[in-house]
Structure 1
């Protein structure tokens, strides 16, 4: 069956559907990326990447809020978590460059009190 010359395949509805799907995907990607805690990590020329499956992530944001594995906690909960931690587990510390240094020192004091020496401090590599 042949189509008459003046009639063609109308692709405008297809384009409309694709644009709607694109908008949905971009909206979902924005919500997913905002789920992480935003911190501005300081830079270091000697920074290196550490790979370890067993780790505890402690984050300090610019408002001096503590997070353990992306869940907001108090300093007392951080202390309890570290005190009950196995010495084999790596503690990964990340602090916003605008956070108070005193809050970061509090975490280091807890680690020293426990005698936990298996920790790393996150930093961006200077370019």
Structure 2
């Protein structure tokens, strides 16, 4: 009878440690996606960029020319921005490797649609 009690006298913590390490891995991976954003864009660098500019709308232009509004792929800029407040600030996250012509064309399209508060998001050096 005493052998049965000794068998359950110790707690095995190895499974607990395994579960905690898996949870830690999930949290760290998720935190990386939250900080970096979902769409990989290599932003241009600037030494005079201001930090923490609040922008409710983010327009992302990737190196392959795809356009996203707040991390959702869009086909038509006009359709995606239809019904939004024209005084909203729109931040353009353009890949640093795209041709300047694509960025200028996108900012012109935004101005033609009536959005005058357009900023460029860059990475601070």
TM over 0.5: yes
* SS of aligned partner of 1:58: strand
* SS of aligned partner of 1:57: strand
Q: Provide the aligned C-alpha RMSD in A.
A: 2.7
* SS of aligned partner of 2:13: helix
Q: Is the 8 A contact 1:62 1:98 kept in 2?
A: yes
Structure 1 residue ranges without an equivalent (≥5):
1-8
Q: Is the 8 A contact 2:88 2:115 kept in 1?
A: no
* SS of aligned partner of 1:107: helix
Mapping 1:38-53, distance limit 5 Å: 38-52=40-54
| Correspondence for 1:26 | 25
The CA distance in 2 between the partners of 1:23 and 1:52, in whole Å, is 34
* SS of aligned partner of 1:92: strand
The CA distance in 1 between the partners of 2:17 and 2:92, in whole Å, is 43
The CA distance in 1 between the partners of 2:124 and 2:27, in whole Å, is 30
Alignment pair present for 1:81 and 2:80 = yes
| Correspondence for 1:62 | 63
| Correspondence for 2:38 | 36
Q: Taking structure 2 as the reference length, what is the TM-score of the superposition?
A: 0.73
Q: Is the 8 A contact 2:61 2:94 kept in 1?
A: yes
Structure 2 residue ranges without an equivalent (≥5):
1-8
Q: Taking structure 1 as the reference length, what is the TM-score of the superposition?
A: 0.72
